Amino acid sequence: MALGAVWALVAPRPSARWSGDIWVAADDLGFSAVQDVWFAGLMGVAGLALGCALTAWSGRPRSAWRIVWWLGGAVGASVLAAGAGAALTGGFASPEVGATAVAPVELTSLGLLALWPFVAALVVMLALAARGLFGRTF
């Protein structure tokens, strides 16, 4: 939820106008791509933090199951972050024709939902490989 709120605050949002049937972005200059980049950056940082935490805990018994559960939770958390960001910026009502408003954030690249667990798994795998090669974790 917190990452969704941060995403809603930092991602740029275009203005939109009501055409009578749908909301049309008045000046879409790649706002959806920039919103996706902000979401990817936030998910990458969260994945890095989770990967570091899992690496610190990976020396304990049953760590493989712990890692699997945490990565599964990261998938759910990224879905919640995307939903929370979209919900916090609000939806549109149906006002009179020609009314303007600010568009909500929207995740257009759904593959970014897997970025948080992917980065976390990558950090864990690199740390375990370093432990296997050098006998210690960096």
Domain residues of the chain, as ranges? 2-134
Largest interatomic CA distance in the chain: 68
- What does the DSSP assignment read for 7-32? HHHHS---EEEE-SSSEEESS-SSHH
Query: What pLDDT score does 25 carry?
Result: 72
pTM: 0.81
Round the CA-based radius of gyration of the chain to a whole number and report it: 19
* DSSP category for residue 101: E
Tell me the C-alpha distance between 113 and 103, whole Å.
21
Q: What pLDDT sits at residue 47?
A: 93
> Does residue 64 surpass a pLDDT of 70?
yes
Q: Report the C-alpha gap between 120 and 70 in whole angstroms.
A: 9
Write out pLDDT tens, residues 66-109.
778 888 899 999 999 999 998 888 765 656 766 777 778 888 88
pLDDT at 137: 52
Per-residue model confidence (pLDDT) at position 55? 83
First to last CA, the chain: 31
